[in-house]
Amino acid sequence: MPSGIHHVTAIAGSARRNVDFYTGTLGLRLVKKTVNFDDPGSYHLYYGDGAGHPGTILTFFPWEGAPPGRLGIGEAQETVFSVPEGSIGYWTQRLIEKGVAHDPPAKRFGETTLAFKDRDGTRLALAGVRGAEAAPGWSATDAPAEHAIRGFHSVSLLLAEAGPTAAILTDVFGFVADGREGLTQRYRAPGVEVGGLVDLRTAGEFLMARQGAGSVHHIAFRAADDAAQAAMVKKLVQDHHLRTTEQKDRNYFRSVYFREPGRVLFEIATDPPGFAVDEPVASLGQALKLPPFLEGRRAAIEAALPKLD
Ligand code: ZN
């Protein structure tokens, strides 16, 4: 069974501004409000569709005052969401009304695509996809549900050379080559409707990335369960001489991490248990949730976090 994108995690500045943009402007649902388990003084905010399905989840580590990152080799260049084919006009108008910097819509691989940036400079795009309206969406705001974002379309990685990263995508995650446009080689996870595309952009000799606000921190790929994850880890070691971290319990999924040969940080995250493990689907994202090992420090953690409303 091929994998696909599970979630994308990026770095932001102000947490409140981040919530305003992703729920207010883009209409995503805040599906989990928790802290960075490795740095509990800062939030970890998760946005997605109504239930937080894998393949719809964009997450942020907001660090107030984080200096801006610089795009370069060895990182994700752009995160693209799917919207219905006829919705690009609506979104173009909405971005204009909200004062969001964007490019004119352009064709990519035959689809009309609208590229824009969030308030930290995170590079995003909406691709108009035929049939996207069949997938579940969420509209947290005044944006009509018919135009809502339907999860990830693709991520693009900026690389010195595509081959070594492509080998991981095809051999470990089950992607197949799916066409080329200019310097971009597309890979597709067959049968994966949401978050099934990765574009590799070859930049040759270019500056290395410097992470900061607006940068993608890592990309997580899906594993159906622990056994599927273990099989991928074994393949990475045996066939690619790449070691992952030990498995970490992220409460909503279980993860291993490794730096792929093109220098992008990859994660393999299990689909289970999902975001309803510690609060009902109906009230996802409303209360600050902490993992059991941090509950005893809740009062201090809450006092130190910036207010979101
Ligand atoms: Zn992650």
Domains of the chain as residue ranges with CATH: 5-304 (3.10.180.10)
For the stretch 108-128, pLDDT in tens is 999 999 999 999 999 999 999
Structure tokens at 29: 């649902």
Distance from Cα 275 to the centre of ligand 1, integer Å: 14
How many angstroms does the Cα of residue 105 sit away from the middle of ligand 1?
30
Residue 228 has pLDDT above 80, yes or no: yes
Residue 253 banded pLDDT, cuts 50, 70, 90: very high
* Average model confidence (pLDDT) across the chain: 96
CA of 7 to the centre of ligand 1 (A): 6
**How remote is the CA of residue 221 from the centroid of ligand 1, in Å?**
9
Centre of ligand 1 to C-alpha 165, Å, is 19
Q: Which residues contact 193 (CB under 8 A, 6 or more apart)?
A: 135
Distance 253 CA to ligand 1 centre (A): 9
CA of 308 to the centre of ligand 1 (A): 22
Would you state the pLDDT for residue 125? 98
Q: Is the peptide bond before 273 cis (omega within 30 degrees of 0)?
A: yes
Q: How far, in Å, is the centroid of ligand 1 from the Cα of 86?
A: 32
| Mean pLDDT, residues 185-207 | 94
pLDDT digits (tens, 9 = 90+) for 293-307: 999 999 999 999 999
Residue 230: CB partners within 8 Å, gap ≥ 6? none
Tell me: the pLDDT tens digits for 26-55?
Answer: 999 999 999 999 999 999 999 999 999 999
* C-alpha 31 – ligand 1 centre gap (Å): 15
Q: Give the Cα separation of 309 and 306 in Å (integer).
A: 9
For residue 218, the CA-to-ligand 1 centroid distance in Å is 6
pLDDT in tens, 133-153: 988 888 877 888 999 999 999
- How far is ligand 1, taken at its centre, from the CA of residue 115, in Å? 24
